[in-house]
Amino acid sequence: MQSAEVEQQGFAILPEVLKSSDVDRLDKSLTDTALPRSRAGMRHALKHPNVLAIAREPRLLAIAQHVLGPCAFPFKATLFDKSPISNWLVVWHQDTALPLRERRELPEWGPWSVKDGVVCAHAPAEVLPRVVALRLHLDDSTPENGPLRLLRGTHTIGILSDDAIHDLSTRTTAVDCLVPRGGILVMRPLVVHASSKSRSAMRRRVLHIEYAASVSVADGLELAEA
């Protein structure tokens, strides 16, 4: 993978990272898991030992470290499961919230919230380049099953208001991220993205794993596992 592609576009598609047998094993373990999940997926998926193992798998770690440096580590994972019985759209937005070990009132951090017992805050723009997401596809992502859509290069223009994001979406050509099963979409959190409802009977399951360059993100603030 060329890290320059991620820096210029805000994303890169790596079509063949895990073998079909790797995905089969993960798929089976997720189906059998006792962790709480909804029809739409699973939050706090790093608590699942097989998800944690995949997040630390050398092929995935190498990708994250190529972007963030040798100390990159996974701190959050979410399973998204879009299907005919659990179908939704996501409006254009940026990912700015981070899970934290405790709350500290610092300039530019916030608003704050608590989600499932985890303290979260929206981070300032200068912190988020130290984070990257690897979206591992457990099913083929096609034009019909609600793929992620991105606005190329928007990760370089800071944190945007809802109005600015809407304006960009009306005058920027979106990229549909069509990733095969076992492939990975590497994505910067500030790249503007969305997804439409699925128009297919196919499921679209994605394991969204977030990595950081360091556990420390600001003066006295440290990432929590989520």
31 pLDDT band, cuts 50/70/90, is confident
| CB-CB neighbours of 162 under 10 Å | 10
Q: Is the pLDDT of residue 76 over 90?
A: yes
Domains in the chain, please, with CATH? Answer: 3-94+131-216 (2.60.120.620)
Question: Which alpha helices (DSSP H) does 56-120 contain, by range?
Answer: 58-68
Tokens coding 103: 């709350």
Q: Is the pLDDT of residue 83 over 80?
A: yes
pLDDT tens track for 47-65: 999 999 999 999 999 999 9
pLDDT tens track for 89-106: 899 999 999 999 999 999
Rounded average pLDDT over 153-171: 97
| CB-CB neighbours of 84 under 10 Å | 12
